[in-house]
Structure 1
Amino acid sequence: MNTPRVAKQERSEQTRTEILQTALDLFAARGFAAVSLRDIADRVGVNHAMIRYHFGGKEQLWRESAAYLFERLEQEIPPPDLARDPSPIDALKRYIRAYVHYCARHPEHARLIVQESIEGSDRLQWLAEHYIRPNHARTLGFLENVELPAGIAGLDPVMMLYMVVAIAQMPYLVTAELRFVHERDALLPEAIEAHAEAVMKFIFRDA
């Protein structure tokens, strides 16, 4: 009896997700100022007024799309429980490898952060407070509770975190450059796996 209502709710949720993902793609590619709600509506194929009705203005849509991004990160690569894992260093390796694959699936994540970091916007400050700082605090906790390889043990943990993030993300920030300069497609499955393996060898070379 409720099937039509359920189907309508599912379509509505699917449309909402598509709006959030499209907003992320455009904000990440063009920057906040260069994207309009109409751009997003046209890309999704919905009425511009519908986006405004459900999400309010562009600023609120940006926040909701950024929240969706970090919630998806948590779902796709949940943090390891190092205290319960018999081999904390192996758990950390699996987590970093999974993060490389996440970066390849969702290059808009790093691109969005870079766009906002260039400007140092209030949006980035909000994102840092609600998502990035807690995420980093948890990751730094991992690093403090694992016996790290000799090559990186003793480094400033914050800078080490940024170095790991950088080598994981970089090919997916500059996919066009890799294609133009080296004729490489960084998003091929075998290229992603090769990069993940290289990241492992670079970080854990002394392990």
Structure 2
Amino acid sequence: MSTPRVAKQERSEQTRTEILQTALDLFSTRGFAAVSLRDIADRVGVNHAMIRYHFGSKEELWRESAAYLFERLEQEIPAPDISAEQAPVESLKRYIASYVRYCARHPEHARLMVQESIIASDRLKWVSDKFIRPNHARTLKLIEGASLPKGLAGMDPVMLLYMVVAIAQMPYLVTAELQFSHDRDVLTSAAIEAHAEAVVRFIFRD
């Protein structure tokens, strides 16, 4: 049975996670400038002074929430070591399919990066240096270490990486458009699995 102190720590950690996730949701849909600490506090149901006490400024909260985002990415879909795999292409396929599922679970990730890329913010420079560049370095090793289909041989690995990211993310960036224009709910389990399979087949031409 949890002691009162442990229970309090668990509640505190749960509240912190809820604040970070709410910040991500609002920053990714409204943009950094249009969101206030009070907006986040009201959504979570806490005093905005508590957010300022724990996270400091809105800028620092953005950085904390972005760090939470990328740490979760690494936890949910760790990059495989294809050098130790007997079938590195199959490992890369599984990794790509897992990334599609991640994009469906967390559309705020791509939306946040798009928001910041539009204005080329200092926040994007920070998150690029701290997380995106090293993450991409690992993924590029996967691409360069796998035997790619003939049609992809010789392509710029960086541009190939962004092509894969684009087709993985796009349905979850424009979910409302797909619903309004084609009456498609791309967030059902069946639709997500179908898209994951289609992305892998499109890239590897299976």
TM-score band, normalised by shorter chain: over 0.9
1:83 is displaced (CA, Å) by: 1.1
Aligned to 2:70: 70
SS in 1 for 2:154: coil
Counterpart code for 1:122 = D
Aligned-residue sequence identity (percent) comes to: 77
Aligned to 2:123: 123
Q: Which runs of 5+ in 1 are unaligned?
A: none
Aligned to 2:100: 100
Aligned to 1:189: 189
TM-score (norm 1): 0.98
SS in 1 for 2:147: coil
Separation in structure 1 between the aligned mates of residue 179 and residue 151 of structure 2, nearest angstrom = 32
Separation in structure 1 between the aligned mates of residue 47 and residue 142 of structure 2, nearest angstrom = 45
1:2 is displaced (CA, Å) by: 6.6
1:151 is displaced (CA, Å) by: 1.6
1:153 is displaced (CA, Å) by: 1.4
Q: 1:15-38 CA distances to partner (integer Å, 9 max, x unpaired)?
A: 000000000000000000000000
Q: 1:11-66 CA distances to partner (integer Å, 9 max, x unpaired)?
A: 00000000000000000000000000000000000001000000001000000000
Counterpart code for 2:10 = E
Separation in structure 2 between the aligned mates of residue 92 and residue 53 of structure 1, nearest angstrom = 43
Separation in structure 2 between the aligned mates of residue 173 and residue 153 of structure 1, nearest angstrom = 29
Runs of 4+ residues over 2 Å off in structure 1: none
Separation in structure 1 between the aligned mates of residue 33 and residue 117 of structure 2, nearest angstrom = 14
Counterpart code for 1:177 = E
Aligned to 2:204: 204
1:53 matched to 2:53: yes
Counterpart code for 2:94 = R
Separation in structure 2 between the aligned mates of residue 40 and residue 73 of structure 1, nearest angstrom = 22
1:141 matched to 2:157: no
1:89 matched to 2:89: yes
Counterpart code for 1:13 = E
Separation in structure 1 between the aligned mates of residue 189 and residue 2 of structure 2, nearest angstrom = 41
Counterpart code for 1:194 = A
Counterpart code for 2:58 = K
Counterpart code for 2:85 = D
Q: For residues 203 and 2 of structure 1, do their structure 2 counterparts lie closer, same or farther at Cα, with a shift above 3 Å needed?
A: closer
SS in 1 for 2:11: helix
Counterpart code for 2:135 = N
TM-score (norm 2): 0.98
Q: Which runs of 5+ in 2 are unaligned?
A: none
Aligned to 1:178: 178
Q: 1:178-207 CA distances to partner (integer Å, 9 max, x unpaired)?
A: 0010010110111101101110110010x5
Separation in structure 1 between the aligned mates of residue 85 and residue 145 of structure 2, nearest angstrom = 12
1:154 is displaced (CA, Å) by: 1.0
Counterpart code for 2:200 = M
Aligned to 1:39: 39
Q: 1:126-181 CA distances to partner (integer Å, 9 max, x unpaired)?
A: 00000000011111111111110112111111100000000000000000000010
Aligned to 1:164: 164
1:13 matched to 2:13: yes
Counterpart code for 2:162 = Y
Counterpart code for 2:129 = E
